[in-house]
Structure 1
Amino acid sequence: MSSQFAVAPQAPGSLGDDIPAPELMAYLQALGSWRDRRRGELDLLDEASLRAPDRDALTGDVLLSMALWKSVAERHDLILATWDSGRVLPADRRRISTLIWGRLDHKAGEGNAFAVSLPEACRLSDSLASSLRARLHLEGSEPDVARRIRDLRAAVERIRDLVADLPRPRRSTAQGILVDLDRRLVDVTERARRGADVGGLLGPLDLDTAKAERDLIVGAATRTRTRDEQVRALESVEDLAARGQAVQRLAATCIAQVHPAPRFAVPDVTALGEPPAEPEALTAYLSKLANVARALDVAHSAYAGALERRDELAEQIKAAVPSLADLGAGPQEDAAEILRRAHGVLAAQPTDLVRLSALAAAARAYLSAAGGH
């Protein structure tokens, strides 16, 4: 007998596996059924939460549930397109396993961004739906006591696995929660075996178990995102350090070759130190990296622009001189004088951009005046 609520199907294989086509087809069908049933459940939960006295307290989980469902549905569509009605080669099947087990980047509001795999997202959706049903006291929250205890036992085992994966400093608190849930589950199981009415105990245990699993999944996803961001930060530091050195050399070249030269500070990204491990500190660190990148862009543009301006003025003078030479002996002498002075300015180090700009303007003005006679 199947559950009256959507339960995420067991995903086949692992990341990068060549999963057999029959297993993929069965999973796609089960995932499609889960998606459709969960959508209907979420609509009912949304309606019920709007009528609840504490609806503001429920809004966050409802929105998260909706956003998770959307992410799963979109990934299901991508897998279905890759599946192509079963016309898949080994490379296609490996791509599908990557779509199943790879990161499903998800953002549900400011400060709630994390990355989970498709099976984790489905499991989190199950936990959230169970938690919302319990908090809303909806009828039909799995009346079969034996089935509810079996589902709770499976959830506690999933929590046990999640706790085992926690970093050691964070494990003690979660271990205490797991021990408490395990103790309560054993108590409910024993009471039910003796024929006692355990309905009043199952609801709170459902709620606490779902919340614990949800928090652990979100925490694991947040840690994964933090690790990914640390890697990205390290790559950015390496890139910005290389860019900073290049801009420093460009600035030195510009200051040596043109006057007046821009005066922009070139930031040293290594002064920020190593990327921190804490999520909030890492977010601030990434923001500082973005500021360094913008400062390097400004400095690069300014110093490169000054050198380009010198070359542009020199080209303008060179382009004007032949036209002046075609106007007769007098203009030829003037053209030669303009060119001589321009050569002198260009030969000097640093090049005086003010004088070079004036000579270019003189060449253009003389050409315009001479051409008018």
Structure 2
Amino acid sequence: MTPTGAPGAVPATLPAPVAPGRLGEALDPAEALAYLSALGDWLGRRRAELDALDREALASAEPARFTGDVTLAMTLWQAVADREAQLRALWDSGRTSRDDRERMAALVWGRRSTAAAGATSSALELSVPEAGRLLDAVVGELRERLGLEESGAQTTARVAALRAQLERLRDQTALEPAGAGRQRAGEHVAGLASRLAAAVAKAERGGDVGGVLGPIEVEAATLERDLIVGGARRREAGALVARVRQERAELARRTATLGALAERCVSTVAEAPRYAVPDVDGLGPLPNTAPALVAYENRLALVGRAVTFAEEAYGRALRGHDDRLARLEGLRVKAEALGRATEPDLARAYAMAREALDARPSHAALAEQLVTLYATYLQASARTTTEVR
């Protein structure tokens, strides 16, 4: 099988439909129905186009050149299709409440992972409109590279699509952080707009612009993809920074609590463990790159495990002391109920056990033996009482 490489061999699909509403507001029922219908139709047409493009790519002289774009396009299509299925389940043929339509808006505009199952690369957090635009951009670039883009009769439609894409690019550029990156993107968009205007003027004079529009479409699609991916990466990085900062603050709080726990334990129990309390400040400030942040988060996790181990050890020692004290006082209550608490042997044993427990620090082994001695005296006294009766 050989690729056709001819315009029109793989019919082009119109761009993704415009999503209604906004995040946090219930979708209008009529707009929701129209959007679901348009989205389902677009998904069906886009899938057929992707299958055709996949066949063209496999039949090309160098199929490996197109594998990345085809895989990305299929992943994005599946992400939108999954969200469309969830939207239809919520829509339930129109039997929806306002809360359901708010959840539908969250599904449309909320940013969720587009990673394929088992993927090793990091996922992009994209809304349905963003994933649709990115898919349109990837498919447009793929068509151009395969030499399948149509011209002639569709010039007007292509120009209109490019103008809409340039507007999206301007909006995306405005979301870029202030600096050289935003300036470069703005200059790139301005250059594309200038080249498109020149192509339109040439077409109006009767010239052939089929070969001119193609490179503009490729550059615009590539730039849109890069801006969307860059925005998704920045959101991921922002979420990572926030998470690591929160984990660091929580670990700092835990180490402060551990310090107080260790001090109390050491002053209370002579056999208390002697573990150093980690110093979170010793890890240094938060780094400013994603790989360094991941490594920093791993170090926080290691320190967190050390803190957990120390917390359990100190807590176990204190609980042992409290258990001995509670057991002694429980035996004392029992002795009072039997009327034996003031017997000389019992009173002396209680005083010795209580003195061992109240000592600072208290020797656990000695206190345990004395509490056991008091229990033995009480048991013997109770047995004597039973025998006398």
Question: For residues 135 and 354 of structure 1, do their structure 2 counterparts lie closer, same or farther at Cα, with a shift above 3 Å needed?
Answer: farther
CA contact (8 A) 2:287 2:293 kept: yes
Quick one: which of 162, 177, 190 aligns to 2:172? Answer: 162
- More divergent stretch after superposition (68-77 vs 227-236): 227-236
> Deviation at 1:355?
5.1
Quick one: which of 295, 300, 320 aligns to 2:311? Answer: 300
TM-score, L = length of structure 1: 0.80
Match for residue 230 of structure 1? 241
Counterparts of 1:219-258 in structure 2, within 5 Å, are: 219-258=230-269
- More divergent stretch after superposition (67-76 vs 341-350): 341-350
Instruction: Figure out how many residues of one structure are paired with residues of the other and give that number.
Output: 360
Aligned amino acid, residue 194 of structure 1: R
State the distance in 1 between where 2:102 and 2:156 align.
Answer: 39
State the distance in 2 between where 1:360 and 1:46 align.
Answer: 80
Quick one: which of 100, 108, 128 aligns to 1:118? Answer: 128
State the distance in 2 between where 1:74 and 1:117 align.
Answer: 12
Q: Percent identity?
A: 40
Match for residue 210 of structure 1? 221
Aligned amino acid, residue 40 of structure 2: G
State the distance in 2 between where 1:49 and 1:262 align.
Answer: 67
Q: Deviations over 1:33-80 (max 9, x none)?
A: 222222333333334434445544433333332222222222222222
Does residue 131 (structure 1) correspond to residue 123 (structure 2)? The answer is: no
Kindly report the root-mean-square deviation, in angstroms, between the aligned alpha carbons of the 2 structures: 3.8
State the distance in 2 between where 1:172 and 1:143 align.
Answer: 36
TM-score, L = length of structure 2: 0.77
Aligned amino acid, residue 233 of structure 1: V
CA contact (8 A) 2:166 2:220 kept: yes
Aligned amino acid, residue 30 of structure 1: A
Question: For residues 31 and 264 of structure 1, do their structure 2 counterparts lie closer, same or farther at Cα, with a shift above 3 Å needed?
Answer: farther
Q: Deviations over 1:315-351 (max 9, x none)?
A: 8899999xxxxxxxxxxx9999998876554333333
Match for residue 260 of structure 1? 271
Does residue 70 (structure 1) correspond to residue 75 (structure 2)? The answer is: no
- More divergent stretch after superposition (288-297 vs 63-72): 288-297
State the distance in 2 between where 1:312 and 1:91 align.
Answer: 52
Question: For residues 48 and 265 of structure 1, do their structure 2 counterparts lie closer, same or farther at Cα, with a shift above 3 Å needed?
Answer: farther
Question: For residues 314 and 86 of structure 1, do their structure 2 counterparts lie closer, same or farther at Cα, with a shift above 3 Å needed?
Answer: same
State the distance in 1 between where 2:114 and 2:233 align.
Answer: 11
State the distance in 1 between where 2:84 and 2:257 align.
Answer: 45
> Deviation at 1:120?
0.9
Larger gyration radius, structure 1 or structure 2: 2
- More divergent stretch after superposition (347-356 vs 89-98): 347-356
- More divergent stretch after superposition (70-79 vs 300-309): 300-309
- More divergent stretch after superposition (244-253 vs 286-295): 286-295
Aligned amino acid, residue 266 of structure 1: V
> Deviation at 1:14?
1.0
CA contact (8 A) 1:276 1:282 kept: yes
- More divergent stretch after superposition (183-192 vs 349-358): 349-358
> Deviation at 1:314?
6.9
State the distance in 2 between where 1:118 and 1:274 align.
Answer: 37
